[in-house]
Structure 1
Amino acid sequence: MNWFFRAVLSLFAAPRINMREDYGKVRRFQRWVASIGRARHRNSYRQTAEIIGGRQISVRIFQPADRRGDDVLLFFHGGGWVTGDIDTYTAACVAMADLTGCTVASVNYRLAPEYPFPAGLDDCYSLTKRLLNEPERAGLKDVRNLVLIGDSAGGNLAAAVSLKLRDESHHGVDRQILLYPVTHWDHDPETSPFDSVREHGEDLRLTNAEVDDYFDLYVPDAEKRQDPLVSPLESTDLANQPKTLVVTADWDLLRDEGEAYGEALADAGNAVQVHRVPEALHGFIQLPRFSRQMRDAYEVINAFLDEGFAPDRTGAVDFPAPEQRS
């Protein structure tokens, strides 16, 4: 990316704020923006809730305008584990349902700092188990039709749920889609093992400082940030994970750690595809559905949902199942 284009993009970057102090203001602003389109989307979903462990977890169910598949996409939203909710991601979920032709179930998990790790993960995990044990609640014809999907911190939660399901011998989810996920704890440009942290961590959509703020709020104890359920790339055992699609953004500081996680999953014997969306910023899943980045991403997502990878696409790296490797 040349200096002029980066300068232009920086004008549209999120304003630099102290997330540790101002997360409440960010939440209120996001909800105000979401309220503008609320009337347009109010007939696009139904809301339900599950009572698990004495707490209520709200779930918003979106049906596609034209159903083309039996999959149910269990969606965990982004926002650094601190911001975002089912309201602020409603437009993105409407687009996801329509562009995939599948039902989308968006989870309103608990947020930090009021509820630090592992509260949000526990909500996502508990709800996943509930749907696997009682699939009729989500209209699942087969638990194998349940697909975990999340963006950014939500991608982190999806990966962590998959690891936790494996560790607790709870089977059923055999596919996951991780959109520009957080997979590592270190985003200091001086010490990070990833070049994208140094290349894209200063003046674009998401910054190193913001990610550090999010970690401070989500996992206040710095020593716990290397827990594989916080930083999946730190796991020493990635075997027996779902078939995985990792979608990264070209101009995103999280790009390299997402792609490294895909490669680590493949090295552990899992079937994985990694796809980098060219000229995309972090958070592109919330762009208008006609944008080039959205079209690119959903072409690959739909190929994945149809049980076929697309290794010939620009930006795609395919890691097939071990028995299929030469």
Structure 2
Amino acid sequence: MNRVIRAALRLFSAPRVNMREDYEKVRRLQHRLAALPPSRYHTLDRQIVSEDGSHRIPVRIFQPRERRRDDVLLFFHGGGWVTGDIESYTPACAAMADLTGCVVASVDYRLAPEHPFPAGLEDCYRVARLLLEDPRRAGIDDAGRIVLVGDSAGANLAAVVSLRLRDAGLRRASRQILLYPVTHWDHDPATSPFESVRDHGSDYRLTNTEIQDYFELYAPDPVQRRDPLIAPLNAADHSGQPKSLLITAELDLLRDEGEAYGRALEEAGNTVRTHRVDGALHGFITLPRFSRPLREAYETVNRFLDEDSAPAARGPA
């Protein structure tokens, strides 16, 4: 990214939305943008009953134009646990299906502040657990073909779901793909342990202020934000995790904490691939299909999916 483009991005990043007050406006705008142009996607909507039976969790199934792999990508969308849903992420999920040749199952988990932590996490955990226990729900016979995928806050949810499945001794996915994940609780440039927070927290796509707003809506209690179910980098044990692909964006304040999570997984004995997309901004998975960061990311994803995968891990009997 050249200096002129960077300067323009900084200029346009100055007027910021107050997410705590305007999250509903952002949701409506996301829906309008996702509706243009009219969709031509082959999808199928399903619903899964929540653990306590109080509500249903929508899941949208995306079929690729050409299915080249047997894997099913179980996808948790980004949006700071506050915005985003299966409607606004439909173009991105359709692109994911076509560019990987995989079926994509997108989970419409409950959002904060109407449903703060752990509501959205419980929805994702419920869907993942059921599909891993009975992969025929996803149209496959082998739970080892289910891959956990998420971007940003969705990658946070994928990482935490995987840790919870291990702790519960349940069947786990054999692979996970975490795109620029949230893994830490502190994004204050004065106190954060990560240089990317100071280098990119006031520029471009995502700022310190915005992510702080998201955390306040998702987990109003500041002490609770250090919980490993919100900040998985804080987990005492990162062992027993799936083969993992961490993809980060160079110009993203979350870059360093995502890469730190990859190192934590590797140090705990897991197989990890980490790839940084140079010149990329946070949220690039929603860019048009011709964009360079998106193409580079999917080239990396496809190489990862092509590697031999082990059967889904089981917990102790």
Which bin holds the TM-score, normalised by the shorter protein? over 0.9
C-alpha distance in 1, partners of 2:286/2:14?
Answer: 14
Correspondence for 2:7: 7
User: For residues 91-143 of structure 1, what are the alpha-carbon distances to aligned partners after superposition, in whole Å with 9 as ceiling and x for unaligned?
Assistant: 00010000000000000000000100000000000011111122111102200
Correspondence for 1:113: 113
Displacement, 1:175? 0.4
C-alpha distance in 2, partners of 1:251/1:89?
Answer: 22
Unaligned runs of 5+ in 1: 310-326
RMSD of aligned alpha carbons = 1.5
User: For residues 240-267 of structure 1, what are the alpha-carbon distances to aligned partners after superposition, in whole Å with 9 as ceiling and x for unaligned?
Assistant: 0111000000110000000000001000
Correspondence for 2:104: 104
User: For residues 264-304 of structure 1, what are the alpha-carbon distances to aligned partners after superposition, in whole Å with 9 as ceiling and x for unaligned?
Assistant: 10001100011000110000001111111111101110111
* Amino acid in the other structure paired with 1:220: P
Displacement, 1:3? 5.5
C-alpha distance in 1, partners of 2:65/2:264?
Answer: 37
C-alpha distance in 2, partners of 1:304/1:198?
Answer: 31
Displacement, 1:10? 2.2
TM-score (norm 2): 0.94
* Amino acid in the other structure paired with 2:144: R
Superposition pairs of residues 58-207 of structure 1, within 5 angstroms: 58-207=58-207
- TM superposition outliers: structure 1 runs of 4+ over 6 Å: none
* Amino acid in the other structure paired with 2:291: S
Correspondence for 1:47: 45
C-alpha distance in 2, partners of 1:72/1:4?
Answer: 41
C-alpha distance in 2, partners of 1:160/1:241?
Answer: 10
C-alpha distance in 1, partners of 2:279/2:11?
Answer: 16
* Amino acid in the other structure paired with 1:188: D
Percent sequence identity over aligned pairs: 64
What SS does the corresponding residue of 1:251 show, helix, strand or coil? coil
User: For residues 157-208 of structure 1, what are the alpha-carbon distances to aligned partners after superposition, in whole Å with 9 as ceiling and x for unaligned?
Assistant: 0000000000000123110000000000000000000000000010210000
Unaligned runs of 5+ in 2: 310-317
C-alpha distance in 1, partners of 2:290/2:5?
Answer: 22
What SS does the corresponding residue of 1:65 show, helix, strand or coil? coil
C-alpha distance in 2, partners of 1:262/1:271?
Answer: 9
* Amino acid in the other structure paired with 2:22: D
C-alpha distance in 2, partners of 1:69/1:109?
Answer: 26
Superposition pairs of residues 255-266 of structure 1, within 5 angstroms: 255-266=255-266
